[in-house]
Structure 1
């Protein structure tokens, strides 16, 4: 019998938290993720299922729907990433597959992505060093696909003043964390 222990994307038993000049970078291992792709000919039905899940809303281009416990953001034409707390939605992909049936292809994404929350008064200055998005123009619920340290990432604006969520490839979590922390030390 194996004695397995869950570790975070950065390899720790507990999420890593770094603070520089009042701005906090937190590793967030508590997010379950699944991608939803509408199947050809079932786009309207898929959108209806997603709207039902998200209280009548469907994320459009460059947007998220922030809702408890589920949230979703647009990733491409008729494609979305759905997130929920891992503690209560460990089988998120299976839950969504049961809901969407043949209208969508659903795939597990939890272990494919590392999630970091960046909060504090220096958040905008840090993001400006990291990637070519106009963070000061982004509003709550905006989502941008971008490159950070040569990694394809998503930046989601959670709060208009000081909070963004960064999703990047889990296989490169250490590199992404290093890039964000280096930008924090440089900008703040």
Structure 2
């Protein structure tokens, strides 16, 4: 019999938390993810179904929205859906049941890693990490960008909390870049 032990993307038994000055970076492994791509000719129907699922208007270009289940825009008629893993382990199946044949749904949970930044120096850290127009990056904003040569998503949940999603295979590099930027703004 195998004794498998779940580990985080950074290889720990517990999520990694780093605090430098006014910013804390927290590894967040408890997230279920699924991608949604509307099928040709079904864009409006897919968006309406997704809005029902997230209990909010479907996010437009560069936006994030939702209640318990949330979604952020990743491309034309494409979204990433996120929810707490403990209560939504089968998120992709739930999304597929909601959108039906209007969209293609793909399980993404183990493909991405999430780091949450909290604190008052987040804009200074983001300025070193990526080329976002931070004057226009407010609550509900979502953007795709490159951080340390890694394709990432950045979501502004509140002015004091930002989430960064990057490929799980690049978790170490992404974490290193974030912590280095945090140290640099000291």
Q: Same fold (TM over 0.5)?
A: yes
Q: What TM-score, normalized to structure 1?
A: 0.96
**Which runs of no fewer than 5 residues in structure 2 stay unpaired?**
none
Q: What TM-score, normalized to structure 2?
A: 0.97
Structure 1 residues 56-112: Cα deviation after superposition (integer angstroms, max 9, x where no partner)? 411000001042x10100011110000000000011001111111111110000111
Q: d(CA) in 1 for partners of 2:22 and 2:30?
A: 23
- 1:127 is displaced (CA, Å) by 0.5
**Which runs of no fewer than 5 residues in structure 1 stay unpaired?**
none
- 1:54 is displaced (CA, Å) by 2.3
Counterpart residue number, 2:176: 178
Q: d(CA) in 2 for partners of 1:137 and 1:60?
A: 15
Distance 1:66 1:99, change over 3 A: closer
Checking the alignment, whether the CA contact within 8 Å between 1:38 and 1:105 is kept in structure 2 is yes
Q: d(CA) in 1 for partners of 2:43 and 2:120?
A: 41
Counterpart residue number, 2:54: 54
Q: d(CA) in 1 for partners of 2:31 and 2:55?
A: 20
- 1:136 is displaced (CA, Å) by 3.7
Q: d(CA) in 1 for partners of 2:166 and 2:56?
A: 28
* Residue 105 (structure 1) aligned with residue 101 (structure 2): no
Aligned residues: 186
Q: d(CA) in 2 for partners of 1:11 and 1:21?
A: 25
Q: d(CA) in 1 for partners of 2:9 and 2:90?
A: 19
Structure 1 residues 139-183: Cα deviation after superposition (integer angstroms, max 9, x where no partner)? 1000111000000001100112x2110000100000000000001
SS of 2:99 mapped into structure 1: helix
- 1:55 is displaced (CA, Å) by 2.3
CA RMSD of aligned residues (A): 1.0
Q: d(CA) in 1 for partners of 2:56 and 2:127?
A: 34
Counterpart residue number, 1:129: 128
Q: d(CA) in 2 for partners of 1:2 and 1:95?
A: 30
Runs of 4+ with deviation above 4 angstroms: none
